[in-house]
A and B are shown apart, each in its own frame.
Chain A
């Protein structure tokens, strides 16, 4: 993995107003996505992970709005781009496989035509032959036979539909792919096939990929690095092997120890309490009421995401020896 940065996100803030209160759905999130890497982002529902994905694509809907920050891709800041420039960037440089996308295929249009529409929207002046050839290539890439092009969405299984959506996302060979819960609602074997497809495609394109999800197992299977979001903030970003062997943030530690294993039966440790509402966040570190090792400082001071040995980053006052 090279250390070229494909996407640099700095201090991104996304908020929405409810009544006259500002809710910080994504609060001061910064991270780098390296070229060719797979970055997993996990979090519970309401942690801001989907809002983050949509904001990076600038597909967030009001009342959500971008309150500040930068996202630098290919030398330009996405957050500063105008509508038309962003439209051209989307799909060609940065593409999204949205949550539940397999249900967003138009049920009355053949796969072939849905793909052709997407190609024509960006590549003007292609002949019918060129387009059909491209469709064949794309379907091949995601492991579907050419015959799938002639089918309607209802004739395909969930896993196949999801692969069509992956094909749609890579039409213009983007350098960054964002997959939001790409396998939710799929059976375990199909889930495995879809993840394989996604990883193969990403490797062939040498693209960088952000996988958003809640399943730690899937992340362990696919991601190179893992980021954890809690109540709108990124609380840990670490290489995948050190994340699972030696998690830094107490929330990460508890998450890992709460996972059931198919190898051995052990007592599961539950995390006490539940995620706070974004409307009434606790002071200081948002995790402190549930944290088993919280000290007084945690109630007063919001911890920053700091760098530690081995490329790890964590936002916790109690993690020792930061790199200076």
Chain B
């Protein structure tokens, strides 16, 4: 049977450091439901601030940590109950791009190793000449010339070049999904557009789906189809990326969107925001809406955890303000 869903987060919860006294531990991600469909490549943005659980989500998707609740499913198989062959295919078909384009390189080796290692492990090349040819092709796809970068050490290349080589590595493996954790946040402004364009090409030209993990709503708006807004481990708003960012409905999303420093001096921040001091050391209490302490619209029912409701614009919002719209 061919699975309709490529990757699915099925009610995934991740808690760290649970023990006898505190069985829950610290919840990093709670009841996450997310699907990447097999038939249509999409870029799905996961946006939130530090502590939102977005990096935990990336690590779960890459099979680096095992969820404490729910299942992460790839092509119909639970990641943690796969046969050796299934696991191998999954490793090849789900690739990663990390935030720091320097730290992903072992300073001891030339950058060739970044491309050679996966080729050797997955036996992609027939011989040395074929390997060089594949490397050259992959580099060309990200706008680099083999002669310029091969044989060099990571510190001899710019951040943009290094990040593009990581993208080239992913392409080499012909993956179905790439998990990109803040791929442009450490790239200089003039090269950022370049990497973002390459990421979009992954979807359009190579049919690869992307989980784009970011804190930057402006770039998320630019390249993604769907967006999940996370707040302290819960999805507070999810929907079409342009809809959510242009018409944010959850009070938290509204705060986030209004705080984006727009590159336009005519549209400066309006009003002042204060962060209540108690919010700075959030407790472990996870009853009710987690944003209610900071929320200007706080109501009595916010003491109970809200479900998701559909807004007039079509996105799904975890806020009682939209209760009347129905589920």
- Could you tell me which A residues sit within 8 Å of B by CB distance? 44-45, 143, 145, 155-157, 159-160, 187-193, 195-196, 214-221, 240-241, 243-244, 251, 254-256, 258-263, 265, 268-271, 274-275
* B1-9, B18-26, B256-264 - interface stretch: B256-264
- Cβ–Cβ contact A241 & B262, under 8 A: no
Residues of A within 8 A of B281 (CB): 155, 157
- Cβ–Cβ contact A275 & B188, under 8 A: yes
- Cβ–Cβ contact B196 & A268, under 8 A: yes
Within 8 A of A (CB), among B175-221: 188-194, 196-197, 215-219, 221
A133 to chain B, nearest CB (A): 22
- Please tell me which one of the listed residues B194, B256, B261, B277 contacts residue A217 in the complex, with CB atoms under 8 A apart: B261
- Please tell me which one of the listed residues B190, B217, B246, B264 contacts residue A244 in the complex, with CB atoms under 8 A apart: B264
- Please tell me which one of the listed residues A192, A241, A256 contacts residue B263 in the complex, with CB atoms under 8 A apart: A256
- Cβ–Cβ contact B193 & A271, under 8 A: yes
- Cβ–Cβ contact A241 & B266, under 8 A: yes
- Cβ–Cβ contact A220 & B193, under 8 A: no
Residues of B within 8 A of A258 (CB): 189-190, 192-193
- Cβ–Cβ contact A191 & B261, under 8 A: yes
**Cα distance A219–B264 in the bound complex, in angstroms:** 9
- Cβ–Cβ contact A192 & B259, under 8 A: yes
Count of chain B residues with a beta carbon within 8 Å of a chain A beta carbon: 45
What are the 3 tightest A-B residue pairs by CB atom distance, in nearest-first order? Answer: A217-B261, A270-B194, A258-B193
The total of interchain contacts (Cβ-Cβ below 8 angstroms) comes to 138
Show 26 A/B contacts (Cβ-Cβ < 8 Å), sorted by A: A143-B274, A155-B281, A157-B281, A159-B280, A188-B217, A189-B256, A192-B269, A193-B275, A195-B261, A217-B263, A218-B261, A220-B261, A220-B264, A221-B261, A244-B263, A254-B190, A258-B189, A259-B263, A260-B218, A260-B222, A263-B262, A270-B194, A271-B191, A271-B193, A274-B161, A274-B190
- Could you tell me which B residues sit within 8 Å of A by CB distance? 49-50, 158-161, 188-194, 196-197, 215-219, 221-222, 242, 245-246, 255-257, 259-266, 268-269, 272-275, 277, 280-281
A275 touching B190 in the complex, CB below 8 Å, given contacts A193-B273, A268-B196: yes
Q: Beyond A191-B259, A258-B189, A259-B218: 8 further Cβ-contacts under 8 Å?
A: A188-B261, A192-B261, A192-B269, A240-B265, A255-B189, A262-B245, A270-B191, A271-B193
Residues of A within 8 A of B192 (CB): 258
- Cβ–Cβ contact A261 & B263, under 8 A: yes
**Cα distance A271–B277 in the bound complex, in angstroms:** 42
A187 touching B49 in the complex, CB below 8 Å, given contacts A217-B261, A217-B262, A275-B188: yes
- Cβ–Cβ contact B218 & A261, under 8 A: yes
Q: Which residue of A lies closest to B191 (CB)?
A: A274
**Cα distance A156–B194 in the bound complex, in angstroms:** 37
Q: Which residue of A lies closest to B51 (CB)?
A: A187
**Cα distance A265–B263 in the bound complex, in angstroms:** 14
Residues of A within 8 A of B217 (CB): 188, 262
Residues of B within 8 A of A241 (CB): 265-266
Q: Which residue of A lies closest to B196 (CB)?
A: A268
B261 to chain A, nearest CB (A): 3
Residues of B within 8 A of A275 (CB): 158, 188, 190
**Cα distance A61–B148 in the bound complex, in angstroms:** 33
- Please tell me which one of the listed residues A190, A255, A262 contacts residue B260 in the complex, with CB atoms under 8 A apart: A262
A157 touching B265 in the complex, CB below 8 Å, given contacts A187-B49, A262-B260: no
Residues of B within 8 A of A216 (CB): 189, 263
- Cβ–Cβ contact A265 & B274, under 8 A: no
Residues of B within 8 A of A145 (CB): 277
- Cβ–Cβ contact B158 & A214, under 8 A: no
**Cα distance A261–B242 in the bound complex, in angstroms:** 11
A220 touching B265 in the complex, CB below 8 Å, given contacts A192-B273, A193-B275, A275-B158: yes
B1 to chain A, nearest CB (A): 37
Residues of B within 8 A of A269 (CB): 193
B236 to chain A, nearest CB (A): 14
A78 to chain B, nearest CB (A): 30
- Cβ–Cβ contact B261 & A215, under 8 A: yes
- Please tell me which one of the listed residues A189, A240, A244, A256 contacts residue B273 in the complex, with CB atoms under 8 A apart: A189
Residues of B within 8 A of A219 (CB): 263
Residues of B within 8 A of A45 (CB): 159, 188
- Cβ–Cβ contact B259 & A189, under 8 A: yes
A241 to chain B, nearest CB (A): 5
Residues of A within 8 A of B159 (CB): 45
B46 to chain A, nearest CB (A): 15
Residues of B within 8 A of A251 (CB): 190
Residues of A within 8 A of B260 (CB): 188, 217, 262
Residues of B within 8 A of A268 (CB): 193, 196-197, 222
A260 touching B49 in the complex, CB below 8 Å, given contacts A189-B259, A268-B222: no
A189 touching B255 in the complex, CB below 8 Å, given contacts A44-B190, A159-B275, A262-B218: yes
A76 to chain B, nearest CB (A): 34
- Please tell me which one of the listed residues A155, A193, A260, A271 contacts residue B190 in the complex, with CB atoms under 8 A apart: A271
**Cα distance A238–B66 in the bound complex, in angstroms:** 53
Interface centre among B222, B242, B261 (most CB of A within 10 A): B261
Q: Which residue of B lies closest to A216 (CB)?
A: B263
Residues of A within 8 A of B255 (CB): 189
